[in-house]
Amino acid sequence: MKEIITGEKTVYDGKILSLKLYDVLAKGIPAKREIVRKGGAVAIVPVTGDGRIVMVRQFRLAADEELLEIPAGLMDPGEEPLESAKRELREETGFTAEKWTHITEFYPSAGFTDEYIHIFMAENLTPGETDFDETEDLVTEIYSLDDLINMICSGEIHDGKTVCGISLAKVLR
C-alpha cells in the first residue's frame, strides 16, 4: 500500500513552507505527488475562569475573509509543541496559563501537506501584554462555549483547527 518515491524536485522553498514534486510508484504505476512541506503548528483553546473561550479574529488572505479562530501558530525549528503553544498564546492574546492539557493532534489535510497540528487547552489564565508579529492584526474576543458551538453549527466558524478545538473542548468540559 505504501508508495515508493522514485524522484523528488523542490518547486518552491519559502519562509514557512516548501513545495515538493515527487515521482512515485503507486500500486506499481508511475504517478506524481505535489506535497507542501510545512511542519508543525499549535492551536490553543484558552478557557477563562468562568468557562468562556478566548478567540482571535483576523483576516486570512487564503480564505479572503476575516475568520474567528482559536489562537494558533507555527512551531519554531526545534521547539516542543507545549513551548510553542505557550509562546503563541502570550503573543496573540497576552494571556499566560497555569494549567495546560494536550487534547489532540492531527493532519489537517494529509492529501497534500505534512502539516501537523497539536491542540492544547489552557486554563487558569492571567492577562498580560500581546506581542504580535510585525504584520499581524488580531482582535481578541471572548465567547461562551455554547455560543461558539452554535457558531460552528451555523457555519459562522469554519476554520478547521477551531472547529476541532472547540468541539473537543465541549466534549471535555
Q: 5: part of which helix (H) or strand (E)?
A: strand 4-13
Who contacts 101 (Cβ-Cβ below 8 Å, separation ≥6)?
120, 121, 123, 172
Instruction: Indicate which residues carry an active-site annotation.
Output: 136
Report how far residue 48's alpha carbon sits from residue 98's, in angstroms, rounded to the nearest whole number.
Answer: 11
150, 166 in Cβ contact below 8 A? Answer: no
Report how far residue 35's alpha carbon sits from residue 87's, in angstroms, rounded to the nearest whole number.
Answer: 28
- Give, in degrees to the nearest 5, the angle at Cα 48 between 47 and 52: 75
Q: How far is CA 67 from CA 18, 36, 141, in A?
A: 25, 23, 12
